[in-house]
């Protein structure tokens, strides 16, 4: 099991958060941390999502990018982050 941190930029639409969590669960990832805050005068959201799974995070990223209201995703894995720190 590896932890991955995703930084997601999304349109601030009512359904986007549910879709994000639904796809994340369906594709086999557990959410272990989540922070979200609006940016650019409430039109956009930044969501910091930490997930664990033994599945490929690239596959999750590609599935999440198909959500119409998600604009951008950056992925960092935990091991790399610790090394950098």
Partner 1 sequence: MTGAELTLQILQQHGVDSVFGYPGGAIMPLYDAIYDSPIKHFLCRHEQGAAFAAVGYARASKKVGVCLATSGPGATNLITGLADAMSDSVPVVAITGQVPTVAMGSDAFQEVDIIGLSLAVTKHCVQVTNVEDIPTAIEEAISIALSGRMGPVLIDIPKDIQVAETQVGGKGPMNGNGPTAVDCHHDLAIEQAKTLISQAKKPVLYVGGGVGMADAVSELREFSQLSKIPSVSTLKGLGTVAADDEYYLGMLGMHGTKAANYAVQQCDLLIAVGARFDDRVTGKLKEFASNAKVIHFDIDQAEVNKRRLVDVALLGDLKVNLPATAVTTDIAPWQQYCRRMIIDFAWQYDHPGEKIFAPALLNKLSQLMPDTTVVTTDVGQHQMWTAQHMAFAQPENFLSSGGQGAMGFGLPAAIGAQVSRPNDTVIAVSGDGSFMMNVQELATLKRYGIPVKIVLIDNARLGMVRQWQQIFFEERYSETDLSDNPDFVMLAQAFDIKGQVITTKQQVDAALKEMLAHDGPYLLQVRIDELDNVWPLVPPNAANEAMLESVK
Where on the chain is the footprint of partner 1 (CB under 8 A)?
A: 13-15, 18-19, 22, 26, 56, 58-59, 62-63, 65-66, 68
| Residue from 18, 43, 44 nearest 31 by CA | 18
Within 1-85, strands assigned E span: 2-11, 30-39, 44-53, 70-77
Q: Please identify, using beta-carbon distances, which residue of 23 and 82 lies nearer to partner 1.
A: 23
Q: Please identify, using beta-carbon distances, which residue of 42 and 84 lies nearer to partner 1.
A: 42
Q: Please identify, using beta-carbon distances, which residue of 74 and 81 lies nearer to partner 1.
A: 74
């Amino acid at each position: 099991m590896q932890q991955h941190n995703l930084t997601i930029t999304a349109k601030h639409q009512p359904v986007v958060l549910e879709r994000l969590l639904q796809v994340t669960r369906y594709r086999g990832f557990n959410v272990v941390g989540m922070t979200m805050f609006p940016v650019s005068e409430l039109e956009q959201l930044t969501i910091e999502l930490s997930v664990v799974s033994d599945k490929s995070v690239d596959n999750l990223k590609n599935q999440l990018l198909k959500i119409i209201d998600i604009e951008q995703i950056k992925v960092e894995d935990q091991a790399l982050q610790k090394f950098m720190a």
